[in-house]
A = this chain, B = another copy of it.
Amino acid sequence: MNPGPSDNPAVTDLLGLLAYAELGSFFRLADDAALAPTLRDKGRLASLAAEEESRYERLRERLLERGTDPEEAMAPFVAPLDAWHARTEPQSWVESLVKTYVGDGIAGDFYRKVAELADAGTSELVEAVLVEEGRGALISEVVRAAVEEDPALAGRLSLWARRLVGEALSQAQQVAMARPRLAALLAEGRADDDAGGSAEDGAGIGDLASVTRLFGSIADRHAERLEAMGLSD
């Protein structure tokens, strides 16, 4: 029997993943603000960090409304997301902006997936979050301006962006292996408990193939986002 939309456990996984992703981004952005060259730029990064925190709170609230323990829902994603952050520490203010932009972009892909699959209350939340994506335009403008001022940055930042997405896909691969139910949902929009074998068995071959396709489409959208920042793949 398929679970109803409001108690779909794979949607719980997705909300937990996104909630911890936002909390983690909050911490990293707050740290990175220390790299900002001026008081004004510190304030700008702090404001981006506060936005992440508010999304975290809304996702957490939604998990509570769904009758789930939010911290339990987040727990499986703490290690892979922390690992991603540890492997991608920005060395400058503009690297930190590129990371936020790339991270937001990938998160956006996941949010849209949730919107497709989830119950009405959750979809509303997701749409509200996506409406805020205006900040992406703001960040890409700042990065573009920095690259125009110092063209040597373009190559360095393009490499950086490639590393960011590479490390993200590598962590996502780990998550997909450990949580086939989530992998199936992301790959196919299938969210029934039978997809890809049980959680204990690991992901089936078919699911790994579709997860690969999903990653392919994330990489495609990543290329578009790079272009928006004036970088190349």
Binary B-proximity of A96-118 (CB < 8 A = 1, otherwise 0): 00000000000000000000000
Contact A27 B23 (CB under 8 A): no
Number of copies: 2
Contact A50 B54 (CB under 8 A): yes
- For the complex, would chain A's binding face be called helix, strand, loop or mixed by DSSP majority? helix
Binary B-proximity of A42-53 (CB < 8 A = 1, otherwise 0): 110011011001
Contact A53 B57 (CB under 8 A): no
Contact among B39, B49, B57, B71 for A30, CB-based, below 8 A:
B49
Q: Which B residues touch A71, using CB under 8 A?
A: 38-40
Contact A60 B43 (CB under 8 A): yes
CB-based nearest B residue for A30: B30
Contact A27 B34 (CB under 8 A): yes
A215 within 8 A of B: no
Q: How far is the CB of A13 from chain B (nearest CB, A)?
A: 16
Q: Which B residues touch A31, using CB under 8 A?
A: 30-31
Q: Which B residues touch A50, using CB under 8 A?
A: 26, 49-50, 53-54
Going nearest first, the 3 A-B pairs with the smallest beta carbon separation are: A30-B30, A50-B53, A50-B50
